[in-house]
Every structure is written in structure tokens, then in C-alpha cells.
Copies of this chain bind each other. A is one copy, B any other.
């Protein structure tokens, strides 16, 4: 790995000054990362279910973490494609977690997948595949 858990945690805090709104880093491995989102009022849709955009944002940042763990702290890596399938309703007011792992890390792009889990449910509530473009000049 190119970065430690603490280095990545600090970097994400700088990049996302909105704080824990997009989730917090829980674990970091070689090509994978886990993030957790404490569901707040702003993440909900009427009826108490976690909104799609909240899950998409969590998936996006979790794969960003997994990628940076592999390539180092490249601030200009940007999402180029995101595909997400929403599978089932998360448990109301339960935290959600994203388990992100890289499928391929190349010179100009990285591709990975993310399972979104809801505490209290065994099966994933969503699944995403995401491509990040990596800038040439790093």
C-alpha cells in the first residue's frame, strides 16, 4: 500500500470538509476500503428510508479510498463512470456501510466494485461499479 489508514483519513477530511456527511473510513487494505455512514435526517427520504444519492455518495467515496490506498494521495482522480443497482430497502435509521474493492488499477484509470450494506441485514442493499480517471501528471 502507498498510504496508511491515518494518512488517508486526514486526506479525506481535507477533501471533504463537510465532514462525516459522506461517511468515515473504517478499514483500509491492499486494494480495498470500508466506510460507514451514520444515517442522519439529511440522508433520508420520506418514510425513513436512506436516499439513493446518500448511497451513491458513500459508494463513490469508498472506492476513491480503495483506489488512493493503491496509487497514493492523488487529489485529481475523478469519477468517470458509476453504475449502481439498488437491491432492497435499508433498515430505517441503521448505519450503512460500503465495502469497496478494486478490480483493476491501470495507469490512466481504476475500476472497482462496491457492496452497500445496512446494519441488521445480511444481503447487500445496493451494488455499484465505478471507474476513476487518474490524471497523467502525478
Contacts and interface: CB of A to CB of B under 8 A. Distances in A.
Contacts of A86: 78-81
Interface stretch (A2-10, A45-53, A65-73, A92-100): A45-53
A67 B130 CA distance: 23
Contacts of A34: none
Interface size class of A (residues with CB under 8 A): 35 or more
A56 B80 contact: no
Interface string A19-45: 000100000000000000000001001
Given A45-B15, A127-B129, A111 B87 contact: yes
Contact of A80 (B16, B46, B131): B131
Contacts of A131: 80-81, 85, 131
A91 interface: no
A129 B46 contact: no
A124 B79 CA distance: 16
Contact of A60 (B52, B60, B79, B113): B52
A83 B108 CA distance: 21
Interface of A: 14-16, 18, 22, 42, 45-47, 52-53, 56-57, 60, 75, 78-88, 103-104, 108-109, 111, 113, 123-124, 127, 129, 131, 133
